Amino acid sequence: MALLITDECINCDVCEPECPNEAIYQGEWYYEINPKLCTECVGHFDTPQCVAVCPVACIIKDEAEPETQEQLMAKYKGLMAEKGNDKE
């Protein structure tokens, strides 16, 4: 399941550089996450890095984007293939 940044975001800028998939970007009012790029850090780390660094705990699972661990891993592999970083 992709992650979602709620409107409690304080635009502190700590989450964006932590995202290995570059899924986090500055939205109109606060940071947002592109669900097509978010793998919850599956394939990169054991835990979502944006959640780990968020000082206000405003990053939650996006119920509108349900995905299993297997689907997240498949998305990760697809993203790595697109970048030319194919690794199993």
Q: Which is nearest to 20 in space by CA: 3, 1, 37?
A: 37
Average pLDDT, integer, range 17-27: 98
Question: How many whole angstroms separate alpha carbon 2 and alpha carbon 37?
Answer: 8
pLDDT(88) > 70: no
32-53 pLDDT, tens digit per residue, is 999 999 999 999 999 999 999 9
Average pLDDT, the chain: 94
Higher local confidence (pLDDT), 65 or 8:
8
**Amino acid at residue number 44:** H
- pLDDT band for 86, please (50, 70, 90 cuts): low
- pLDDT band for 87, please (50, 70, 90 cuts): low
The domains found in the chain, sorted by start residue, are: 3-83 (3.30.70.20)
Whole-model pTM over 0.85: yes
Is-contact 63 1, C-beta < 8 A? yes
Question: How many whole angstroms separate alpha carbon 54 and alpha carbon 50?
Answer: 6
